Amino acid sequence: AQSVTQLDSQVPVFEEAPVELRCNYSSSVSVYLFWYVQYPNQGLQLLLKYLSGSTLVKGINGFEAEFNKSQTSFHLRKPSVHISDTAEYFCAVKGQTGANNLFFGTGTRLTVIP
């Protein structure tokens, strides 16, 4: 099985500053990786995904993430955040083989301060 660790439960950042949300995973097989965003009392929206190929993945709303296999990480970055980016962000992992359920981290609450 796989697991995901999001070490930062809360990240406050000033508007227009850069941000990095950290995600580390554990798996005995190759993986697919995802970042989802959740606004209050809403479902999850897919931000970006890594399936194969380039390790730098670009998503919606100006976010990007880099897959680092040696460090088993998939950190999410944005060079300049907006107030509207305030939300909960979830990293998720799925094994490419075996019982490939989707496993979620516990989430990081990003708060953008005006």
Partner 1 sequence: DGGITQSPKYLFRKEGQNVTLSCEQNLNHDAMYWYRQDPGQGLRLIYYSQIVNDFQKGDIAEGYSVSREKKESFPLTVTSAQKNPTAFYLCASSIGFDREQFFGPGTRLTVL
Cβ contact 33:67 at 8 Å = yes
Should residue 34 be labelled a site residue for partner 1 when binding is judged by CB under 8 A? yes
Q: Which two tokens stand for residue 99?
A: 């019982």
- Near partner 1 by CB under 8 A: residue from 49, 64, 73, 77: 49
- Near partner 1 by CB under 8 A: residue from 71, 84, 101, 111: 101
Measure the CA–CA gap between 31 and 47, rounded to whole angstroms: 17
| Count of residues of this chain found to bind partner 1 when the rule CB under 8 A is applied | 21
- Near partner 1 by CB under 8 A: residue from 87, 105, 110, 112: 105
Instruction: Print the binding letters for residues 50-89 with partner 1: x by CB under 8 A, - otherwise.
Output: ----------------------------------------
Cβ contact 58:48 at 8 Å = yes
- Near partner 1 by CB under 8 A: residue from 17, 29, 56, 102: 102
CB-wise, 15 or 38, nearer to partner 1? 38
* Contacts for 32 with CB less than 8 Å, ≥ 6 apart: 49, 50, 51, 93, 94, 95, 96
Query: Residue 41 in 3-state DSSP?
Result: coil
